[in-house]
Amino acid sequence: MIIRFNLLIFISLFFINLLFSQGGIVNNGATIVIPSGVYLVIDGGAGVGNYLNKTNVNHGSIDIDGTMILEGNWTNNASNNVFINRDGNGTVQFTSTGNQNINGTTKTIFENLTINKTGDEVALAIDAEVEKTLDLDDGVITTGINYLIHSSIVAADLASFSNASFINGNYRRYIESNVSTYTLPLGNGTTSIDYHRFDFVNNSIVGVNFLNTKVEPIADEDDDDENLTTSQSGTPIIDILETAQWSTIPDALPSGGSYGVKLFVENLAMSDADNNQFCAVKRDDASIDYADWSTFESTTTIPNIDVAGRTYADGYAQRLGYTTFSKHAVAKGVHGLPIELLDFSAKQNSEIVNLFWNTTNEINNDFFTIEKSNNGVDFNYLGFVDGAGNSNSIQNYSFNDNRPFEGVTYYRLKQTDFDGRYSYSNIVSVNTKYNNEIQAVWYNKENNELNVEFNTVNSTDFYVCIYDMCGKQVIAKSDNVEGKQNDIINLQFLPTGIYTISVTSEKYKLNKKVVIIQ
């Protein structure tokens, strides 16, 4: 059944004091009953079919179990809530091709609210609350300094939303301790490119009743990526995507549980080329310092590579395990070496050199190029080995140099991505003159350590000295060796540079240069 109020016709029902005017319908103290299945349409033309609930006579009210469709503005000047007997069955639907307003002197508590407009917006001049279902079919709600309050704790009571229908401004979302995902359809404007969705992934958080949320572009006094100091899995974070910064402020600090976030990358100027190179970061709500952005990777987790939460096609950056609230953003890592290199070593084996390396994580790794040098500075191509592409398990690699240089040979790896980007590993070296006692001297960049390998028949005294480029001795160490032994010397305090390593015994002497990179 549809009851249509046209401004040119007066319809007398079983209630009193319902007046019509050129401004719409004025409820001056009546109780309007809209039964289940009944649609009350206030049309009167766009911008004219208004509803005004006045205060001067009996505080007019509505008992609604059907649907009220409004094409004009909503004004509530009553001292009490306009809707009575709220059982979750009544719906007010804003439908118009023009802008509409919710205003008045009293906050309206809607049972269910539907926005179904062709473009344009519903603007709040006062807070508005939705007790049960919020249905964003088409059109934007703009809050200004006010709040759209969604007091239902059921995540599914946000029935629909899209980049054509979202909340431009402040959205207060009530939650409870559960494992539901609450979608926050936020924006910082009224067009589709202003839409920035945020999902709150609840993990039984305790002590929080609601979240005050919004999204805005970053406009810090210190919005300089050069001040970033955080990293993810060893990869430095170099870029905060400034288009969207989501703010989530709870009514109280949590006393237990945790939460995660899904920060959606739509409208952040990203592409498939960013796969596995982006993640969620967080900082304190009061911060305006880029140095405060952090991945919190010691207490949180992100998905494995090439799965939802790490790829552009899936649409969001995910991080789980937060226990504090603040500002969130999407960040990109450095396009450098997208592998975690566990070890790279060179071992003499008779007249050849065996090279070994292994990785724990690889992202878009096309291949390794092996390069060698006789001076540690000028490197040439030696060969290549295919990479694993994408992997989060240990991968072992090897390569043989069948014709090492006479004396010391230096080696390094050049790792190349599928898109052509590349980076270099640390440098290792081997003295390929066969020596029964001093078998190898090599520098482990990952640990900043010098390794000296011995193999003696009898007890022998060895002396290891390290000289800088000016010839100044910076390290001196002696050791008595019998049999096979690997001496490790910590080089962490030495600055980056080229050093000469001298290993001597009564019968043997070995000099070699090592490039130390801090």
Domain parsing of the chain, residue ranges: 1-174, 179-334, 336-426, 435-518
Structure confidence by residue, pLDDT tens digits, 272-331 = 888 888 999 999 988 888 999 999 988 999 988 778 999 999 999 999 999 999 899 999
Residue 4 CB neighbours (<10 A): 13
Residue 19, pLDDT > 70, answer no
Residue type, 207: G
Q: Which residue has the higher pLDDT, 184 or 468?
A: 184
Predicted TM-score (pTM) of the model is 0.64
Structure confidence by residue, pLDDT tens digits, 499-510 = 899 988 866 778
Whether the CB-CB separation of 358 and 396 falls below 8 Å is answered with: yes
Structure confidence by residue, pLDDT tens digits, 453-480 = 888 767 888 899 999 988 899 999 999 9
Q: How many CA atoms lie within 13 A of 310 on its CB side?
A: 15
Give the model's pLDDT for residue 333: 83
Give the model's pLDDT for residue 20: 41
Give the separation between CA 123 and CA 170, rounded to whole angstroms.
Answer: 12
Return the residue matching tokens 């926005």. 115
Give the separation between CA 500 and CA 276, rounded to whole angstroms.
Answer: 40
Give the model's pLDDT for residue 181: 97
The band of 37, judged by pLDDT with boundaries at 50, 70 and 90, is low
Contacts 24+ apart (CB under 8 A), 16-21: 17/57, 17/58, 17/60
CATH topology identical between 336-426 and 435-518? yes
Structure confidence by residue, pLDDT tens digits, 351-378 = 789 999 988 778 778 899 999 998 887 8
- List, as one string, the DSSP characters of 314-325: TTEEEEEEE-S-
Whether the CB-CB separation of 325 and 250 falls below 8 Å is answered with: yes
Residue 15, pLDDT > 60, answer no
Give the model's pLDDT for residue 215: 98
The band of 96, judged by pLDDT with boundaries at 50, 70 and 90, is confident
Structure confidence by residue, pLDDT tens digits, 100-155 = 999 988 899 999 999 998 878 999 999 999 999 999 999 999 999 999 999 999 99
| Residue 460 vs residues 432, 454, 506: alpha-carbon distances, Å | 21, 10, 8
The band of 214, judged by pLDDT with boundaries at 50, 70 and 90, is very high
What value does the mean pLDDT of the chain take?
84
Convert 188-215 to b/e letters by CB count within 10 Å (16 or more is b): bebeeebbbbbbbbbbebeebebbbbbb
| Rg, C-alpha atoms of the chain | 34
> What is the CATH topology of the domain spanning 435-518?
Immunoglobulin-like (2.60.40)
> What is the CATH topology of the domain spanning 336-426?
Immunoglobulin-like (2.60.40)
Enumerate residues 6+ apart whose C-beta is below 8 A from 462: 437, 438, 452, 454, 478, 479, 480, 481, 487, 503, 504, 505
Least confident of 25-29, 66-70, 74-78: 25-29
Give the separation between CA 439 and CA 430, rounded to whole angstroms.
Answer: 8
Give the separation between CA 45 and CA 381, rounded to whole angstroms.
Answer: 77
* Strands annotated E in 61-126: 61-64, 67-70, 74-76, 91-94, 100-104, 108-110, 112-124
Classified as helix, coil or strand, 176 is coil
Give the separation between CA 184 and CA 179, rounded to whole angstroms.
Answer: 16
How buried is 344 (Cβ within 10 angstroms: 0-12 exposed, 13-18 middle, 19+ buried)? buried
Q: Which residue has the higher pLDDT, 296 or 48?
A: 296
Q: Which of 37, 40, 36, 43 is nearest to 13 (CA)?
A: 40
Convert 261-274 to b/e letters by CB count within 10 Å (16 or more is b): bbbbbebbebeeeb
Return the residue matching tokens 């049999």. 483
Q: Which residue has the higher pLDDT, 437 or 499?
A: 499
